[in-house]
Structure 1
Amino acid sequence: MQIKDVLLAPGNGGFFYDDQTAIRAGASQNGFIYLGEPKTAGFASIRVPASSLSVGLVLEDGTVVWGDMMSVQYSGAGGRDPLFETDRMADLTSRVVAPRAFDVDVSRYLAACAKVLEPFEEKRLPLALEYGVSQALLRAAAHIRRCTMAEVICAEFDLALPTRRVPIYCQSGDAREINVDKMILKAVDVLPHGLINSRQKFGPNGQTFMEFVQWVAARTREIGPSGYHPVLHFDVYGWIGMEIGLEPQRIADFVCRVADSIPAFTVNIESPADFGSTQAQIESYARIVSILNERGSKARIVVDERCNTLEDVRLFAEANAAHLVQIKTPDVGSIADTARAVLLCKQNRVGAYVGGSCTETDLSAQASVHIAVATQADMMLAKPGMGVDEGFSIVGNEQNRILALLNRARLRNEKAG
């Protein structure tokens, strides 16, 4: 089946784009906004509403399948692509992507992605554009094959139909206490993120952060349902390194103290430090991981910054430079590369976390769930937004629908065989 037309529709992301450099430099908050001048190219203010662009592929039978492109919350930081520009993405899609799309067989997903998303003028297309177009192509393949997107991925990568539910991770945003309570009451698998993105939230020598960690553990025991035992996952946005220095041994010591303060829980520490380049990040994270492993610590290091593309994921995984890799979907580019990234992590016995950003949309979140379930990732992010309820509902309900459909397909195949 061929693509007959390409539609574009501007839209909103699920949260805001934030200038991480300005926030790290000490920009203060006034209500929901940040005060001061932006420091990252493309930002007119430190916090701007997230925009998105939907791309619709009109198929021969009149069906229109959609995918959404956008940037991540901290665009232009940590080696990421710059801030999302709707007009530029629309122009590239119309001039470059659409003519290519008319010439592909959309039933062959990976081949279609390779053709439509090949470099332009010897440069890779913007990763946000790859992300949105690849979602639409995946939906097209699923429509033609009359199956789920997860089944398309399983077929293309020669994977067995999955049966295991993928644990869901929620993020709190700044409304920490209220959202932690919501997560606990809903028995979220992994929580709470915490948004520890400033010196005020981290505190001198990490004391404020340490108190928050202990409060989350105590609150989980206090109001959680019987038998509830989540993984506690905290994103510190490099503040361990910024506050106590970039010596891997000192960072590992601090992480061990965090884990030792709540011994009943497994603790994930995301982005403990930013060492300034991908290679430096790999070398230092590998050392931190090695120290924690030697000590038998229950703490796990999660990499985010400096690990963006599929090639970055490969480098970190092969170097064992993390216990868990966040595969940040809009930064990876083609959602087919998200699937490849999960499989790469598994080959190297490194945890794979299908993440993304609060700035995404319902459509991109649902497509990500199909990838996570098909590849059997270790966990996936509830997205979009920072409100807990909405993202948890979108991702959780989509996963349950997928598993019900896959179970039906499996029973049908068993009867036929």
Structure 2
Amino acid sequence: MKIVQVLASPGLTGFYFDDQRAIKRGVTTDGFALVGEPQTAGFSAVRQRGESISIMLLLEDGSVAYGDCAAVQYSGAAGRDPLFLARDFIPVIEEQLAPRLVGRDVREFKSLAEEFDQMRQPDGRKFHTAIRYGLTQALLDAVAKNKKITMAEVVAQEYKAPLSSQPIPIFTQTGDDRYDNADKAIIKRADVLPHGLINNLETKLGRDGGKLLEYVSWLKGRVQRLGDGNYRPVIHIDVYGTIGQLFNDRIEPMADYLGKLEQAAAPFELRIEGPIDVGSKEGQIDALARLCRSLKAKGIKVAVVADEWCNTLDDIRRFVDAGSGDMVQIKTPDLGGINNTIEAVLYAKEKGVGAYQGGTCNETERSAQVCVHVAMATRPEQILAKPGMSVDDAMMVVYNEMSRLQVLLQAKGV
């Protein structure tokens, strides 16, 4: 079956673009707005609306396959592609990609996805990661429609990855409303929580680290109060390098502090994402590897999750091979084509490193649904509930798509 037309429509995401550099330097709040001078190229405000583009592939039989182009909340930070605005990139899709797509046969996903993910613009650059992300979603959907099977089955068949018979643990994120939204996650029995958005040293970690210690203790108490003896979620907190800031990137004091967090979280398993950000990929790989070795030597069982500077499939392989994290976040939009997400999850699992199929609050319901299909075929340790930061909407989208898919696959005997 061939593609006969390509359409692109502007859309909104489930959250916002935030200027991470400006936030780290300190901003003030005005209601939900963040007030300060933008520090990252392309931003007109510290917080501005998140935008997406839907790519729709019209097929010969009249069916429509589609995927959503989206970029992460902190676009332009830590080596990522720049801000993604619909008005800037719809012309790129219509003028440069559509002519190359029309007439293409959608019999196989992997080769098509790899071709378009690697494709170059006239100036020699790859297309923006967001475009490659949305386009490959649409291509996966097109192949599934052609074969009259689910997207998960396409991935399982082409990558020889057995479909999961169990749901993938879902990780919910609270955003700045880290107390009420943590309660929501607990009531809904999220498998992993709360992310916490600890992205400022003064206001969230605390100058002595005390604010985060207090929060972890509170969180444990809420799980025990609102849960039951059978509910044992993983506590996973993203600290955006603030622990490194607190200790001037000194590894041993950082490890000792993580030991205190482990005690505060006990008996629940604790994962700390992005404990340090040294400002470069090479430095980050080295720092996280040294931190992991220090924790192991001290008998501290906090799992370190790599995030910043781990943006591409090649990055993920390098972090995994260097032992730079017990788990890697595979931040789906950052990798461009979802074929790279598939390869990244499978590589981490093969090497015995935890695979967290993540993404961003700044995605759409469509990209989240496609990611569920990828996860059910590749079986990461956890998948992010997305889009948004409200817990309810994001968990609904991911949980319901996973539940529908499981029942459908069981009915088909797959």
Length, aligned pairs only: 411
The equivalent of 1:73 in structure 2 is 73
User: CA-to-partner distance for each residue in 1:12-69, whole Å, 9 max, x for gaps?
Assistant: 0101100011110011112211111111111101000101111100000111111101
The equivalent of 2:405 in structure 1 is 402
User: CA-to-partner distance for each residue in 1:86-109, whole Å, 9 max, x for gaps?
Assistant: 123212211221122124221210
CA RMSD of aligned residues (A): 1.2
For the residues of structure 2 that align with 1:269 and 1:53, how far apart are their CA atoms? Answer: 32
User: CA-to-partner distance for each residue in 1:238-290, whole Å, 9 max, x for gaps?
Assistant: 11011221112222121111112222011010111101111110111011111
The equivalent of 2:148 in structure 1 is 146
The letter for the 2-side match of 1:59 is: L
The letter for the 1-side match of 2:85 is: E
For the residues of structure 1 that align with 2:404 and 2:362, how far apart are their CA atoms? Answer: 24
User: CA-to-partner distance for each residue in 1:335-381, whole Å, 9 max, x for gaps?
Assistant: 11100000110121110001001110000000011111110010000
Segments of structure 1 that go 5 or more residues without pairing to the other structure are 412-417
Q: Secondary structure at the match of 2:68?
A: strand
Matched, 1:331 2:334: yes
Q: Secondary structure at the match of 2:395?
A: helix
- Percent identical among aligned pairs is 43
The letter for the 1-side match of 2:23 is: I
Contact 2:67 2:135 in 1 (8 A): yes
User: 1:90-109 maps to which residues of 2 (within 5 A)?
Assistant: 90-109=90-109
For the residues of structure 1 that align with 2:297 and 2:127, how far apart are their CA atoms? Answer: 42
For the residues of structure 1 that align with 2:316 and 2:355, how far apart are their CA atoms? Answer: 10
The letter for the 2-side match of 1:20 is: Q
The letter for the 2-side match of 1:325 is: V
For the residues of structure 1 that align with 2:53 and 2:391, how far apart are their CA atoms? Answer: 24
The equivalent of 2:382 in structure 1 is 379
The letter for the 1-side match of 2:168 is: V
The equivalent of 2:265 in structure 1 is 262
Moved more, 31-40 or 102-111: 102-111
The equivalent of 1:314 in structure 2 is 317
Q: Secondary structure at the match of 1:107?
A: coil
Matched, 1:253 2:263: no
TM-score (norm 1): 0.96
The equivalent of 1:415 in structure 2 is none
The equivalent of 1:126 in structure 2 is 128
The letter for the 2-side match of 1:158 is: K
User: CA-to-partner distance for each residue in 1:200-224, whole Å, 9 max, x for gaps?
Assistant: 1111121111100110001100111
For the residues of structure 2 that align with 1:209 and 1:162, how far apart are their CA atoms? Answer: 35
User: CA-to-partner distance for each residue in 1:167-195, whole Å, 9 max, x for gaps?
Assistant: 00000011111111111111100001111
Contact 2:197 2:239 in 1 (8 A): yes
Q: Secondary structure at the match of 2:279?
A: coil
User: CA-to-partner distance for each residue in 1:134-159, whole Å, 9 max, x for gaps?
Assistant: 00001001111111111000011012
Moved more, 286-295 or 269-278: 286-295
Contact 2:11 2:86 in 1 (8 A): no
Matched, 1:351 2:366: no
The equivalent of 2:41 in structure 1 is 41
The letter for the 2-side match of 1:97 is: L
Matched, 1:54 2:57: no
User: CA-to-partner distance for each residue in 1:102-129, whole Å, 9 max, x for gaps?
Assistant: 2422121011112333222332211000
Contact 2:114 2:339 in 1 (8 A): no
The equivalent of 1:83 in structure 2 is 83
The equivalent of 2:193 in structure 1 is 191
For the residues of structure 2 that align with 1:226 and 1:385, how far apart are their CA atoms? Answer: 30
Segments of structure 2 that go 5 or more residues without pairing to the other structure are none
Q: Secondary structure at the match of 1:265?
A: coil
Deviation of the 1:292 alpha carbon: 1.6
Contact 1:162 1:406 in 2 (8 A): no
The letter for the 2-side match of 1:403 is: Q
Q: Secondary structure at the match of 1:246?
A: coil
Contact 2:12 2:51 in 1 (8 A): yes
Moved more, 114-123 or 295-304: 114-123
For the residues of structure 2 that align with 1:141 and 1:206, how far apart are their CA atoms? Answer: 50
The equivalent of 2:244 in structure 1 is 241
The equivalent of 2:177 in structure 1 is 175
Q: Secondary structure at the match of 2:413?
A: helix
For the residues of structure 2 that align with 1:205 and 1:81, how far apart are their CA atoms? Answer: 34
The letter for the 1-side match of 2:121 is: F
Q: Secondary structure at the match of 2:55?
A: strand
Q: 1:278 aligns with which of 273, 281, 287?
A: 281
TM-score (norm 2): 0.97
Contact 1:362 1:394 in 2 (8 A): yes
The letter for the 2-side match of 1:129 is: I
For the residues of structure 1 that align with 2:289 and 2:279, how far apart are their CA atoms? Answer: 15
User: CA-to-partner distance for each residue in 1:357-412, whole Å, 9 max, x for gaps?
Assistant: 1110000000011111110010000000011011001000111111122223336x
Contact 1:128 1:331 in 2 (8 A): yes
Q: Secondary structure at the match of 2:67?
A: strand
